[in-house]
Amino acid sequence: MNIKKNSHDHFTRVLGLSLLLFLAMSPLAVWADKTNDDQIVPPQKFQFELFGGYTTLNPSDLNLFVSYDNTIQTFSYDAYFDYLRTNSQIQSWTKNQDSERQKIKRAFPFGARLKFHLNQTIALSIGLRYLTSSHDSNIELQYTRNEFFNEQYREELVYSPYSLSAKAYIPTLGIHIMKKLKNALTLEGFLAGGLMFARCKYLSDWTYEWWIQGANYNWLTFQNSGTLEEKGHGIGIALDVGGRLAYPLFKSLGIFLEAGYAYQVAKNISGGGSEVRDDSTEIWDGRWGIKREKMTTPWGELEFELPTNYWPEGTDERRIRDFELDLSGFQLRLGLSYRF
Amino acid sequence: MITSNLYEGGLMKRVYSVILCLFLLAILISSPLHCKETEQSLKNEAGFMTIEPIIFYFHYGDHFSRLLLKSSEARIWYSFHAADKNSAKNPLFVFFNGGPGSATCSGLMSMYTSEFTLDKGIETGGGDIFLPNPYSWTQLGNLLYIDAREAGFSYNLMSQDKSIQDEGLRFREFNAQNFNPFFDAADFIRVLLRFLASHPELQKNPVVIVGESYGGVRTTCMLHLLLNYTEYGNGSQMYQDEALVDEIQAHFDVVFPNYQGQIVPPQVITEQFGHQILIQPAISYGYQTQITDDLILQPGGLIDQFEQETGIPYDPDIHEDPLYYVKDVADRDYYIYTKPAGWLNGFFSNAARLLHFTQNLTLMTGMDVTAIPQLYASERNQAYRVISTNYPYSILLAPDIATPLIRLHFIEPAIQEARQANQEPGDMDAVFGTLQPWDRYYISSNGNANWAFHVYNVAIVRGYDVTIYEPRLGRMFLQNVAHVHTFITNAALDLVVYSDAIPPSLARHDDIVESVQHIKHPMNGEIRPGYIILNYHQSAFPNVQNLASRTIRFPLYESSCHAVSLTQPEELLSDVSAWLTEKEIDFKARER
């Protein structure tokens, strides 16, 4: 209950802030309008824009999957084999890993915007941005334990794919304040706010094989496979603040380059999940959160946090907070505008 | 008229006859003799209990990195022997041998516990025929013998979508999904509960678990699963088996109706599962073996004696495990060091050979085994018992591949089985049909299964402490003993489970027990003295009330081998009977 309340408070706070910023833009717009008195007012009131670009991203809770999986792997294999070697249960061990699990760090947003120019310095807009980022990794891992008596245990893990993805549709309303510069350039500041309809997904499709290899034998001793998938969707707040330079190519057509920071966070994420292991399947549905877990093994203890929507009965006490899908980042966008 | 008179006369005779018959029947039904028959309504039976494929997993706390496994379908052999008297009102003794992978039929069932037994005088030409047993435990109650998965008559079935001819697939069947101490114990619980459910007369009766050797581990796991059953479905324990938890709850709903749908506490569960009898058990076997080595290698110990006898000093570089020295140099049986090497295995082999004959199996089980459909070859198309008759996958014959201890206990029996495998004696082929090359009617000790427990086991490779050497099992045993009355044999001549090592091995769990005393003198005037007193830390198991100490009966059998029921059957029966009476199990016409 507390978590829900906090999330609601946050939403209200961000929405309030956006409205305040929006209202604060109005005097600025009047000022900008006066400074542009000497300029010619174009007759067209509407402007349609298409844009695309690059954004930095750090959805830290979503990326926590990578940290979690790396931590579990290191503890379950590297640390375990170190323990076996220290206790003289194996002679040595080696590891080969051809690539790493990839976190989400960037995206290529694109969108469209329809502007209505109230005058030559102020415009209002309605826009839609789409943002998607998917990082698929294909990882092959091989751990080799050199047992005594000239025998090797080889454990092979393949993750194909190991994937994190996020996408969002962001409809916004915006206000734009423009000032003509020399050389036909226009400098513009903008503030847009709206909702973010976001989705995210974790997918790990893996196989495991255990081989025993000796002088003249190499046996596949055990194999299994599985697919773990967790999906989430939710609605959050989006605020887009920035500035841009526009340049007219023709009478109605222009290009622009804009840069800014987009705050895009959804906190109330929920969705389905499934785990398929050989011929057993488990399906669930739940609200995403960050779970604290502890592994207690003969070779040590490990405490860690993982994002998940899997909350079977009796595990709520391990929820430390809600999951946050944070798709905020600095954005650089290039676009075309058509005024009509 | 004549016809009519004749007809009337005949009719009257028939009516009189019917009345007379009904009268006699009424007398018969109401007679004390028939009352006894009714009380003895349970009959011997034998057959297979099918265990469907089970999904279970091991975990150390993280759900998604758990090791999830699915077992193969199994047909588990059982042989039920009704008590001599009032079978429906007597307790049920559940017997099993160890190994793991060893059969109960050629073990405890053939060695002075059921109505027939091998003659123990193997040196004088005995041990080669089944004879009536004057020390049958049917005097105490009902007996249920169970052969573990792939041991004895029990066999697995590969799923229909897999090719049974594929040797690689058969090799991969012998792994943790079918063989590990927890799932093995769950198998036995499933068979037991299903047997009880199909015999309502017995369903609420006390159950006494009797395990020999590795059967100590199995008993420990069974009781821990039963007493703490919810923990095996809610993520608390390393082994998780939700289907088993549901089955146990359903059983408890019947036996303890006051707790219908609720968690039944251990002190209530022990009303039914409150007694364990362990014959030369592996309990905390890692510590037991360490202490055994220390004791027999100490100056003046057994190895010293053998060195003096043979004149050959013990060299650990040659015999890493001193039991090898006992066998190879001193030519003694490590199961009974006063006898020549191989003495006890001779009994197991003889029993196994005899059980390959239909008439012997019928004699031993007390039912016509030709009426058991699952014995017939036509019912076993997907059955497998071994990887291969030629053992191409096996490293059993590779000389330097395993530790001497593993070779001693596991490899050599497996080699022996492999040699015998192609030459199954008896008439079963003729009676039930010829089996496929990887199938067997009977395996006394299944080396493939044994290796699946110890070596080819992905749970072990992935770090789960499921070998018989793990301290986890000793801790579980000590937790069980806090609730369950316990009887352990102390066979003086057994080196494989060296009894003197048992009390100090339990003392190694010093986070649970403050001290462990081995009392060797009589405490209650008993003929064969012996007790282990466990003094627990008060905080060891917070949920157990009055945990100060527990006493284990630990009688000494001075001339006994590993199989105590074989060497001192009369004494064992007598001690068990007295102990159970003392522990308030009344064998005569119990009214529940």
Cβ–Cβ < 8 Å for A198, A166: yes
User: What Å distances lie between residue A138 and A96, A159, A226, B15, B283, CA to CA?
Assistant: 14, 6, 15, 91, 46
Do A80 and B463 count as a contact with CB atoms less than 8 A apart?
A: yes
Give the residue among B542, B43, B16, B102 at the shortest CA–CA distance from B347. Answer: B102
Q: Of B149, B117, B284, B144, whose CA–CA distance to B209 is shortest?
A: B144
Residue B174 CA to residue A222 CA, distance in Å, equals 9
With beta carbons under 8 A apart, name residues in chain A contacting B461. 153, 155, 210, 222
| Residue of chain A nearest B465, judged by CA positions | A298
Q: Is the pLDDT of residue A282 over 70?
A: yes
**β-strand B556-557 against B92-96: which pairing, if any?**
unpaired
| Fold for the domain defined by B44-287+330-489+555-592 | Rossmann fold (3.40.50)
A90, closest residue in chain B (CA to CA) = B461
Residue of A149, A219, A280 with shortest CB distance to B171: A219
- The stretches of B104-239 forming alpha helices (DSSP H) are 167-173, 181-197, 215-227
Fold assignment, A2-36+45-339:
Porin (2.40.160)
The alpha carbon of residue B307 and the mean position of all alpha carbons in its chain are separated, in whole angstroms, by: 36
Conformational region of residue B525, where left means phi above 0, alpha means psi within -120 to 50, and beta covers everything else: left
* Residue B159: closest CA among B54, B266, B293, B291: B54
Inter-chain residue contact B62 with A296, CB threshold 8 Å: no
Nearest CA in chain A to B168: A220
For a pLDDT cut of 70, what percent of chain A falls above it?
A: 87
Looking only at the bridges linking them, the beta strands covering A186-213 and A300-308 are: unpaired
Torsion of the alpha carbons at A97, A98, A104 and A109, rounded to the nearest 10: -170
The verdict on a CB contact (< 8 Å) between B175 and A310 is no
Whether A228 sits inside 8 A of B64 (CB atoms) is yes
Q: Tell me: the pLDDT tens digits for A113-135? A: 999 999 989 999 999 999 999 98
List, as one string, the DSSP characters of B548-578. SEEEEE--EETT--S-HHHHSHHHHHHHHHH
CB–CB contact B463 A297 (8 Å): yes
User: Read out DSSP for A32-71?
Assistant: HHHHTTTSPPPS--EEEEEEEEEEE---HHHHHHHHHHHH
Check residue A44 and give its pLDDT.
79
Q: Please say whether the beta carbons of B413 and B447 come within 8 A.
A: yes
Residue ranges covered by each domain of chain B: 2-30, 44-287+330-489+555-592
Distance from CA of A230 to the nearest CA of B (A): 12
3-state helix, strand, coil in chain A (%, to 5): 20, 60, 20
Query: From chain A, which residues contact B within 8 Å (Cβ)?
Result: 72, 76, 80, 149-151, 153, 155, 210, 212, 214, 217, 219-224, 226, 228, 275, 277-280, 293-299, 304, 306, 310, 312, 314
Question: Do residue A295 and residue B63 have CB atoms under 8 angstroms apart?
Answer: no
Which two tokens mark B124? 């004088």
Closest partner CB to A153 (pick from B168, B395, B461): B461
Say how far apart CA A134 and CA B525 lie, in whole Å: 79
pLDDT digits (tens, 9 = 90+) for A215-266: 767 889 999 999 999 999 999 999 999 999 999 998 889 999 999 999 999 9
B410–chain A nearest CA distance, Å? 17
Cis before residue A161, ω within 30 degrees of 0? yes
How far is residue B115 from each of residues B109, B135, B366, B442, measured CA to CA in Å? 9, 8, 9, 21
Residue type, position B89, single letter:
K
pTM across the whole model = 0.86
Full pLDDT tens readout for chain B, 592 residues:
333 343 444 444 554 444 444 444 444 334 333 333 345 479 999 999 999 999 999 999 888 899 999 999 999 999 999 999 888 889 999 999 998 999 999 999 999 999 999 987 766 656 778 999 999 999 999 999 999 999 999 999 999 989 898 888 998 999 999 999 999 999 999 999 999 999 999 999 999 999 999 999 999 999 999 999 999 999 999 999 999 999 999 999 999 999 988 899 999 999 999 999 999 999 999 999 999 999 999 999 999 999 999 999 999 888 888 998 999 999 999 999 999 998 998 888 889 989 999 999 999 999 999 999 999 999 999 999 988 765 444 454 454 555 555 555 555 556 656 555 556 788 999 999 999 888 999 998 888 898 899 888 999 999 999 998 989 999 999 999 999 999 999 999 999 999 999 999 999 999 999 999 999 988 888 899 999 999 999 889 988 888 899 999 999 999 999 999 999 999 999 999 999 988 777 544 344 3
Q: Which amino acid type is present at position A95?
A: K
Q: In chain A, which residues have their Cβ closer than 8 Å to the Cβ of B65?
A: 72, 76, 295
CB atoms within 10 A of CB B5: 9
> Residue A91 corresponds to which amino acid?
Q
Q: Count Cβ atoms within 10 A of the Cβ of residue B374 and give its class: 0-12 exposed, 13-18 middle, 19 or more buried.
A: middle
Residues paired with B568 in a beta bridge:
none
CA gap A290, A286 in Å, rounded = 12
Mutate to test the interface with B, among A211, A213, A222, A224 (most CBs of B within 10 A): A222
Contacts of B158 (CB under 8 A, 6+ apart): B72, B164, B169, B170, B173, B382, B383, B384
A220 contact residues in B (CB cutoff 8 A): 168, 172
- Report DSSP state, residue B481: H
Instruction: Please state, in angstroms and as integers, the Cα–Cα distance from residue B69 to each residue in B64, B175, B176, B378, B435, following that order.
Output: 13, 10, 8, 29, 29
3-state secondary structure A22-39: HHHHHHHHHHHHHHCCCC
> Region A9-36: what's the mean pLDDT?
49
Measured in degrees and rounded to the nearest 5, phi and psi for residue A163 equal -135, 135
At residue B240's C-alpha, the angle toward residues B238 and B244, to 5°, is 140
Judge contact between A286 and A311, C-beta under 8 A: yes
Token pair recorded at residue B281: 């058990």
Which residue is closest to B56 within chain A, CA to CA? A280
Cβ proximity of B534 and B478 under 8 Å: yes
Give chain A positions within 8 Å (CB) of B54: none
Average pLDDT of the residues in A277-292 = 92
From B470's Cα to the closest Cα of chain A, the distance in A is 10
Q: What angle do CA A256, A167, A134 make, to 5 degrees?
A: 100
Give the distance from residue A14's alpha carbon to the nearest chain B alpha carbon, in angstroms: 36
Q: List residues of chain B with CB under 8 Å from any CB of chain A.
A: 55, 60-65, 68, 70, 168, 171-172, 175-176, 234-235, 393, 395, 398, 400-402, 456, 458, 461-463, 465
Cβ <8 Å between A149 and B401 = yes
User: Which residues of chain B neighbour A278 with C-beta distances below 8 Å?
Assistant: 70
pLDDT at A182: 81
- Collect all residues with Cβ–Cβ distance below 8 Å to A279 and sequence separation of at least 6: B70
Cα nearest neighbour of A65 on chain B: B64
Contact B168 A314 (CB under 8 A): no
8 A C-beta contact, residue B335 and residue B344: yes
Average pLDDT of A83-108?
A: 93
Query: Rounded to a whole number, what is the distance in Å from the CA of B356 to chain A's nearest CA?
Result: 32
d(CA B277, CA A121) in angstroms, rounded, equals 94
ipTM: 0.83
Q: Is A295–B60 a contact, with Cβ atoms under 8 angstroms apart?
A: yes
Helix %, strand %, coil % of chain B (to 5): 40, 15, 40
Strands (E), B455-565: 485-488, 490-491, 513-519, 531-536, 549-553, 556-557
Q: Are B321 and B402 in contact (CB under 8 A)?
A: no
Distance from CA of B327 to the nearest CA of A (A): 23
Q: Do A219 and B60 touch (CB under 8 A)?
A: no
> B61-79 burial, b if ≥16 CB within 10 A, otherwise e?
bbbbbbbbbbbbbbbbbbb
Q: Helices (H) and strands (E) in chain A — how many of each?
A: 3, 16
* Helices first, then strands: H and E counts in chain B: 21, 21
DSSP secondary structure string for all residues of A266-292: E---EEEEEEEETTEEEEEEEE-EEEE
B300: left (phi over 0), alpha (psi -120 to 50) or beta: left
- Answer for the pair B91, B585: CB distance below 8 angstroms, yes or no: yes
Q: What are phi and psi of A18, to 5 degrees?
A: -65, -45
Q: How many CB atoms lie within 10 A of CB A87?
A: 10
Q: What is d(CA A242, CA A244) in angstroms, rounded to the nearest whole number?
A: 7
- In angstroms, the CA A60 to CA A193 distance is 23
Chain A closest-CA separation from residue B458 CA (Å): 7
